[in-house]
Amino acid sequence: MTLLVTGGAGFIGSHFILEWLNRHHEAIINLDALSYAGNLANLAPLQQDTRHHFVHGDIRDRELVTRLLTEYQPRALVHFAAQTHVDRSIDGPAAFIQTNIDGTYALLEACRHYWRELPEAQAAGFRFLHISTDEVYGSLAPTADAATETHPYQPSSPYSASKAASDHLVMSWHRTYGLPVLMSHCSNNYGPRQFPEKLIPLFISKALAGQPLPLYGNGLQQRDWLHVADHCAALRLLLAHGAPGERYNIGSGTETSNLEIALTLCALLDQRRPRADGRPYAEQIQHVADRPGHDTRYALDTGKIRRQLGWQASTVLAEGLSATVDWSLQHPEWSAHDNADAAIAWRQARP
């Protein structure tokens, strides 16, 4: 039994692989292009683990994906690979179209041909799990109900629009061809080893470096923050018990403003690593011009996955942030990790 995971050297994908192999003997084929956010150092504990097979490649390479499906006969494909940073999508949307739309299309077609040739029992058990985002639902009004899985799509950025397009492709391959797909919509993830361009690791590293903490606009944008371990637990449940053709929201249910996150991180650093001058880190918060199309609020209704699969987030935000700050202080080298050097070191360490 094998899983094919795309984007497994990234933040969420690597956590999924590590936690999966801690719980299962099932092998994982990890296909990752090692773009700027992919880092094999995320998977350092698996260097000698024969259950993990890393393949350096692009999800748009149909020939490569077909070969991996044929050779390893996976029972599921778990699709994390994506360009995910909103600011980058505004500056350069082409990569988001290529990876998130073209890449998902290539995977769907390769899986469709693979799946229809499987023996009946294997075909019935095959799953294509597509990891999406709450951003496809767009910005919610301050007093609006949290978005359910039937909320209309209203993407605001090139990133969220590219993910919305990929979602529509996935569901159409289910409705037209019968491909047994599952889809998840997660809220903002955080935790150890997150790429330092994201808000929480960015603010921690900049605070410690004595640099301004750039907060868009008034900082009152509301987000649901989900610990990556809770997210991975939900995905394992979806693989085991999710119904083909269904979508599931995955969030913590705790809405917090970006300003509150920044202030909490500063307070934690004040306790654990006080500034040499004795001043509070919060003095480094600097409000900057808001980005174009900035959504003011995301919120997810997770009633469906709670009722059907019994899942709910277990990490309290205050405790998760505290643990994340502690990890960052223990790993000061993380924000300076060079992906190319990490990839070379990985390959040299392989038997």
Phi first, then psi: what are they for 210, rounded to 5°?
Answer: 75, 20
Is the separation of the CB atoms in 205 and 320 below 8 Å? no
CATH number of 2-190+226-252+299-314+337-349: 3.40.50.720
What is the chain's pLDDT, residue by residue, as a tens digit (351 residues)? 899 999 999 999 999 999 999 999 999 999 999 987 888 989 999 999 999 999 999 999 999 999 999 999 999 999 999 987 788 888 889 999 999 999 999 999 999 999 999 999 999 999 999 999 999 999 999 999 999 999 999 999 999 999 999 999 999 999 999 999 999 999 999 999 998 888 999 999 999 999 999 998 999 999 999 999 999 999 999 999 999 999 999 999 999 999 999 999 999 999 999 999 999 999 999 999 887 878 889 999 999 999 999 999 999 999 999 999 999 999 988 765 443 344 334 333 333
From residue 313, give the alpha-carbon distance in Å to each of 188, 272, 303, 305, 306: 13, 27, 12, 11, 10
- What tokens appear for 289 in the block? 């011009």
Q: Which of 114, 159, 248, 298 is catalytic?
A: 159
Which residues on adjacent β-strands are paired with residue 287? 215
Distance between CA atoms of residues 318 and 79, nearest Å: 30
- What tokens appear for 72 in the block? 């390893």
Is residue 49 part of the annotated active site? The answer reads no
Distance between CA atoms of residues 89 and 263, nearest Å: 27
For tokens 């058990």, the residue is 125
**pLDDT recorded at residue 332:** 86
**pLDDT recorded at residue 51:** 96
Is the separation of the CB atoms in 147 and 160 below 8 Å? no
Is residue 135 part of the annotated active site? The answer reads yes
Distance between CA atoms of residues 167 and 162, nearest Å: 9
**pLDDT recorded at residue 335:** 67
Is the separation of the CB atoms in 28 and 3 below 8 Å? yes
Contacts of 99 (CB under 8 A, 6+ apart): 35, 59, 60, 81, 82, 83, 162
Is residue 134 part of the annotated active site? The answer reads yes
Q: Which of 29, 183, 64, 179 is nearest to 118 (CA)?
A: 179
Model pTM score: 0.92
Strand order in the sheet with 27-32: 52-56, 27-32, 2-6, 76-79, 127-133, 181-186, 246-250
Phi first, then psi: what are they for 52, rounded to 5°?
Answer: -110, 120
Distance between CA atoms of residues 19 and 14, nearest Å: 9
Cβ neighbours of 185 (radius 10 Å): 24
Is the separation of the CB atoms in 266 and 281 below 8 Å? yes
Sorted by where each begins, the domain ranges of the chain are 2-190+226-252+299-314+337-349
